[in-house]
A and B are shown apart, each in its own frame.
Chain A
Amino acid sequence: MTRGLQTALARLQGGWQSVVVLVPYFWLLLFFLVPFFIVLKISLAERIIASPPFSPLFQWAEDGALTMRLLFDNFVWLWEDELYVETYLNSLRISIVSTILCLLIGYPIAYGISRARPTARTILLLMVILPFWTSFLLRVYAWIGLLADQGTINNLLIFLGVIDSPIRLLYSEFAVYVGIVYTYVPFMILPLYANMEKLDLSLHEAAADLGARPLTTFFTVTLPMTLPGIIAGSLLVFIPATGEFVIPDLLGGGNVLMIGNVLYGEFNANHDWPVAAAVAVALLVVLVVPMMIYQRVQARESGI
């Protein structure tokens, strides 16, 4: 690879062009790629009471040869521990259901925006983007006020006479769903909108002229044409939701365990770095295929 870079650089005339390539390249190598190999390395180490708290992977044996110790114990342990397997399945279930909910809520909104008049469209789009720029943490926090036992929703329901005593909304799986859908639905709306904006409406008319009912038109024309947007939006919700940490922590309150929480707990509370690293590697294994699909879809869409 180094030689490839050198020939590439030789082709560029001035020295400044190589700087333009090399600065971001080495930044990413050092601060993005190398850290992954360290995580991988530590996930194969053994926990010891020391600083840093893991056994070295490379060791000089007595005869002077460099030996490498690979321990798959951490992964075996994760696999055999019911709590971990359950947490993984739980995370996947929560993020899949959240993705479907985001799609059901986001699709009509995106469609509505793409069919609005140009001025209204700009304003609506800005309104979807604006929450992006406000603190994620505070938007999650806002729901504590709504869902708490003495919160707005319970107070309203009691005031209306629907219920007599507060119902448990906060610190439940329901609250986690609400939090994920609320914070991630813009990620669904924006790619869907970008896709729908380019839709050719004459195809709808053609379908209608040929006698198709609106529902038939939707399932045979609109849905297939918006599929790239659906895939991009769903992955943009699914991938970060699977590794989510703040939402299950603040709104699930320890009653809902997701992989992100387990990883954070192993690292910060238990100081079991090898297990934390193994959890991270296992999470990455689950997500690597969706991430690659997303990159593929993105590359095709942007034509880069």
Chain B
Amino acid sequence: MRKQRSTFLFSALCFGMAFLYVPIFLMIFYSFNYSKLVPVWGGFSTRWYGVLFQSEEVWDALALSLQIAVVNATFATLIGTMAALALVRFGNFRGRMLFSGMITAPLVMPEVITGLSLLLLFITLEGIIGWPSERGFTTITIAHITFSMAFVAVIIQGRLAGMGQELEEAAQDLGAKPFRVLFDVTLPRLAPGMLAGWLLSFTLSLDDLIIASFVSGPGATTLPILIYSRVRLGLRPDINALATIMVLAVAIGVIVAGWLLFRQQKQRTREMQMAGK
């Protein structure tokens, strides 16, 4: 009976992983297809990569998306960490309920609603104070920070809750001012979580289509907006090439980040063991 169950679980796992990965691998496979018709194999070729690299539109969109992603990730990490500190370490201030509700709501809010509401805000603001006079980089970045900081706050809250306050209290007992405690004790311990938050915000921003297409104006085309306008009309071999590059970049990034975190953790354990001796 037990064996039967593990066979079932094993086949479920195989099926699940195949379901998750076969479409991605097929997309990579067809990016090396010479034929213009994506599913018809016309021999191995890298011609679509050439087509992709020669497209100025693609480079412009990529540059805009990367700029937004970096600025967004940096601000979202800063503000999200502040929010997490306020919620976990600053006790029960009034208005805390509203604050914690607002910080988690963007996590589950449908993107069409967030996008529409932010666009209407920007238009209203423009009518009242004349800012933002045009929609593009700034408005997309603000929209992205608003939902990215929620993800950062959740990550940091989790780490803060699991960390305990003993080290901070010890530093305070030794005469450190709260400001020094924050910078010398709390923040260094939060660094891995902040890195994870930064990376997540970066990818979320690079990936967002719906909110960006609501709050962007003419002339501001991010990479997802460009991809979307091309694939709406069906399969495109150059998009397969672009997908391959993006998937590989993400895979390498995740593996390197994972390896760095793993190494850091190992080093810390070693240091703690040595300190113990």
Binding site for B on A (CB under 8 A): 1, 3-5, 7-9, 11-14, 16-17, 19-21, 23-25, 27-36, 38-39, 42, 52, 105-106, 108-109, 111-113, 115-116, 124, 126-128, 130-131, 133-139, 141-146, 148, 150-152, 155, 182, 185-186, 189, 214, 235-236, 239-240, 242-246, 249-250, 259-260, 263-264, 267, 273, 276-277, 280, 283-284, 287, 291, 294-295, 298, 302-304
Contacts and interface: CB of A to CB of B under 8 A. Distances in A.
Contacts of A131: 20-21, 24
Contact of A291 (B16, B17, B105): B105
Given A135-B224, A138-B27, 19 more contacts: A4-B95, A17-B178, A31-B118, A31-B142, A31-B145, A38-B120, A112-B9, A124-B17, A127-B21, A131-B24, A135-B243, A145-B235, A148-B235, A152-B39, A240-B110, A249-B232, A260-B112, A284-B113, A302-B158
A151 B110 contact: no
Contacts of B113: 39, 243, 280, 283-284
B27 to A, nearest CB: 5
Given A131-B24, A145-B235, A35 B12 contact: no
Contacts of B146: 27-28, 31-32
Main SS of the interface on chain B? helix
A236 to B, nearest CB: 7
A112 B39 contact: no
B103 interface: yes
Interface of B: 1, 5-6, 8-10, 12-13, 16-17, 19-21, 23-24, 26-27, 30, 37-40, 79-80, 82-83, 85-88, 90-91, 93-95, 98-99, 101-106, 108-113, 116-118, 120-121, 123-124, 127, 142-143, 145-146, 149, 153, 157-158, 161, 178-179, 203, 206-207, 209-210, 214, 224, 227-228, 231-232, 234-235, 239-240, 242-243, 246-247, 250-251, 253-254, 258
Contact of B178 (A3, A7, A14, A295): A14
A302 B111 CA distance: 25
Contact of A21 (B86, B88, B258): B86
Nearest to A24: B83
Contacts of B207: 135-137
Contact of B23 (A19, A139, A298): A139
5 contacts: A5-B93, A126-B254, A137-B209, A235-B108, A302-B157
B251 A25 contact: no
